[in-house]
Amino acid sequence: MEVLHNLVGANGVIVSATILILAYIFIALEKIPKVTIALFGAVLTIILGLVSQTKTIDGSINPLYFINFIDFNVIFLLVSMMIIVSITAKTGVFSYIANNFLKMTKGHPIKVIVVLGVFTAVVSAFLDNVTTVILIMPITFSIAKKLDINPIPFLITEIFCSNIGGTATLIGDPPNIIIGSAAGFSFMDFINELTLIVALIMISVVAMLALSFKKQLKTTAEKMAEAANIDNTGVITDVKSMIRSCTVLAFVILGFILHDVTHIETSIVAMIGASILLFFEKPTKILEEVEWNTIFFFIGLFIIIGGLEATGGIKLMAEWIINVTHGSQAAASMVILWGSGIISGVIDNIPYTATMAPMIAQMQAVLGSEYAYPIWWCLSLGACLGGNLTIIGAAANVIVSENSAKHGHPISFMGFMKYGVAVVFISLVLSSVYIYLRFLR
């Protein structure tokens, strides 16, 4: 074993990079569950000695201890928000709100697609994208059935808007949680820097989609009247629980906003909210609804990337980007923005962001926080918005496409990509202009 460790130690960067690349390939192939791949890669990283199994050395904390590479701020924030959203969703409040928005449209198909898109984007800013699309899909199928319209235009719009809306806040999309933790950005930092550009992108994309789908969105006056009179009776299943969970959710979001004043980490704020709600629930039942596959995928991935960081691979990547861009902040920003947008459309944006965050942190260590500041936002915009490129670019895309197929309306890979390319191109062009005007001129 010692001989193996010595051999690996001499070629640490190559071995750790190989493990990461192979993990990416198998994740993209989707033949093996990605949590299995991540955990196996993590075990391999530890066994080969790329990171250490030992917590202390001669009484001092070992910086290469594998636990040190797991970002528990991300882990606990995800688990806590999943608990809060799960409890809140059971009350039916999200469906109630959606129905009221849809009644405002009077059943007009173009207005419906605009309202669905905007509502999805706004909710995705405060809940994770997967939860948002799961909540909105039943409403969508119901409306489409009443209007006698193919639901695919609505569903595609919701996918795009969930990824766009999730870009606006710290908790809206997992890549932002990773970036916020790595860069030390608060909830309000994301609001201040990204709300404007996300709103502009959303307006542009929804307008483009409404025009693109106009010919497919036609129905009769009778069916429009039916959709305008959706019955909301009985949608709220537990009024007391709804009031309690919505109050806690509101205070949690307020806690995120006041981070700069209270200096309480977002993960701690979310844990407080989750623990309060669990007093009124059966914890075993609620914890069953937490997406543990996602949580352990993150843990495994952090360890794999930790191997690359511990062996100096992340530092080499950062130096390469600096050399290629000749230290130009503008060039590095555009490379990260467009590179992230394209790559995140092909592979899952979570592992991609988890790999890039330490690299940008290394660039920041070399060239300073002022240099790296716009590059962090380029990573956020590119990784989150790039998920719209293909049907496998983000988890929300996959879930919607699978549910659509079950309802007899399959969304083809190329059919989705036809709109995805246009949406991502518009998003990245607007983001490039914004980044330049906001940070680089």
pLDDT in tens, 271-311: 999 999 999 988 888 898 887 887 888 899 889 888 888 88
pLDDT of residue 4: 62
Q: Which band of pLDDT confidence, cut at 50, 70 and 90, is reported for residue 235? A: confident
Determine, yes or no, domain membership for 280.
Answer: no
| pLDDT at residue 392 is higher than 80 | no
**178-213 residue pLDDT tens:** 899 899 998 899 999 999 999 999 999 999 999 999
Please compute the mean of the pLDDT values over residues 253-265 and round it to a whole number. Answer: 82
pLDDT of residue 247: 94
Determine, yes or no, domain membership for 245.
Answer: no
Please compute the mean of the pLDDT values over residues 378-407 and round it to a whole number. Answer: 85
Q: Which band of pLDDT confidence, cut at 50, 70 and 90, is reported for residue 426? A: very high
Determine, yes or no, domain membership for 253.
Answer: no
Q: Which band of pLDDT confidence, cut at 50, 70 and 90, is reported for residue 85? A: confident
pLDDT of residue 8: 66
Please compute the mean of the pLDDT values over residues 83-96 and round it to a whole number. Answer: 84
Determine, yes or no, domain membership for 170.
Answer: yes
pLDDT of residue 143: 79
pLDDT of residue 397: 83
Domain membership of residue 190 as a residue range: 2-69+92-236+291-440
pLDDT of residue 5: 62
pLDDT of residue 6: 65
Residue 229 has a CB neighbour count (10 Å cut-off) of 10
Determine, yes or no, domain membership for 252.
Answer: no
Determine, yes or no, domain membership for 110.
Answer: yes
**106-162 residue pLDDT tens:** 878 898 899 899 989 998 888 777 778 877 887 788 778 878 888 899 999 999 999
pLDDT of residue 7: 64
pLDDT of residue 118: 92
| pLDDT at residue 61 is higher than 70 | yes
Determine, yes or no, domain membership for 281.
Answer: no
pLDDT of residue 430: 97
| pLDDT at residue 43 is higher than 90 | yes
pLDDT of residue 259: 76
Domain count, the chain: 1
pLDDT of residue 360: 92
| HEC per residue, the chain | CHHHHHHHHHCHHHHHHHHHHHHHHHHHHCCCCHHHHHHHHHHHHHHCCCCECCCEECCEECCCEHHHHCCHHHHHHHHHHHHHHHHHHCCCHHHHHHHHHHHHCCCCHHHHHHHHHHHHHHHHCCCCHHHHHHHHHHHHHHHHHHHCCCCHHHHHHHHHHHHHHHCCCCCCCHHHHHHHHHHCCCHHHHHHHHHHHHHHHHHHHHHHHHHHCHHHCCCCHHHHHHHHCCCCCCCCCCHHHHHHHHHHHHHHHHHHHCHHHHCCCHHHHHHHHHHHHHCCCCHHHHHHCCCHHHHHHHHHHHHHHHHHHHCCHHHHHHHHHHHHCCCCHHHHHHHHHHHHHHHHHHCCHHHHHHHHHHHHHHHHHHHCHHHHHHHHHHHHHHHHHHCCCCCCCCHHHHHHHHHHHHCCCCCCHHHHHHHHHHHHHHHHHHHHHHHHHHHHC
Residue 95 to residues 134, 137, 139, 142, Cα–Cα distance (Å): 11, 10, 7, 12
pLDDT of residue 40: 95
pLDDT of residue 204: 96
Determine, yes or no, domain membership for 207.
Answer: yes
**319-358 residue pLDDT tens:** 888 788 888 899 999 999 999 898 888 766 777 888 889 9
Average pLDDT, the chain: 86
Q: Which band of pLDDT confidence, cut at 50, 70 and 90, is reported for residue 428? A: very high
pLDDT of residue 173: 83
Please compute the mean of the pLDDT values over residues 92-103 and round it to a whole number. Answer: 76
Percentage, residues of the chain above pLDDT 70 = 97
Give me the residues paired with residue 52 across strands: 65
